Amino acid sequence: MRLKDKVILVTGAGSGFGAAMGRRFAMEGAALALCDLNEANGMEVRDDIIATGGKAEFIVADVTRGADFKALIDLAVRSYGRLDTVVNNAGYTYRPGPSEKTPEESFDKVFNVNVKSIYWSTVHAVPVFRAQGGGSFINIASTAGLRPRPYIAWYNGSKGAVVNLTKSLAGEYAPLKIRVNCLCPVAADTPMMTEFMGGPERDSPEARAKAGEGVPLGRLCQPEDVANAALYLASGEAAFITGVALEVDGGRCV
């Protein structure tokens, strides 16, 4: 097992990338500390992992709040005695449209969820990693942070910040044996895709298939694609990998 005896924390674990990563990590021997705002979804993922012989704990937590993030870190350490990897997966987007018309509350939320959460993870996880002699962060960014497209500028900016922060923190904490990497998926077949499509009224299997045609490999990113890439970054195989923005994009170059 590639993650035997590892303890991994995953935010936004109730659906999409987070659920896929939690299940994949558990299959490889990791013990999980999971959080989500949706208690029913998060408990379902936790129960699935336990039912298949894995170890998982779950709490409801808002990753934009320092006290909630600390409680999640404390859950991992209290339950398993250590923490090896923090996966900052929880994310938010809004429907595309003219950027000057984006509501202030959407701007605030996209930066709080996508960026401030990484601040809180750093504040509360680094002391644990320092005391242990190392650890790692995996931040979920996006191709939007590398090759932005019009009408969703504030989301693009938040994911660009994730990429930049990943590289900045990687250099800062490398002397402490703390690795920091991020994944940059292309548009993905997850619940968040509904917002990118323009809302439930414009989302359908046919519309998603059409969107996937714009990816050179001919389909949308699947949660399992991200889970497999995250598995590598969390494993000992990536012990010399830090500061990397790994694209999981099916070859999309524009």
The SS3 assignment for 147 reads: coil
- Name the token pair of 235: 């494993």
Q: What is the DSSP string of 18-45?
A: HHHHHHHHHHTT-EEEEEES-HHHHHHH
> Would you say 178 and 126 are in contact if contact means Cβ atoms under 8 Å apart?
yes
The helix (H) or strand (E) run that includes residue 59 is strand 55-60
CA–CA separation, 184 and 171 (whole Å): 19
Token pair recorded at residue 5: 């005896």
Geometric angle at alpha carbon 231, from 164 and 158, rounded to 5°: 25
Selecting among 80, 92, 155, 173, the annotated active-site residue is: 155
Q: Is 92 a catalytic residue?
A: no
Please give the Cα distance from 131 to 5 (Å, whole number): 18
DSSP single-letter state for residue 18: H
Indicate the SS3 state at residue 15.
Answer: coil
Does residue 191 sit in helix, strand or coil? coil
Active site residues: 155
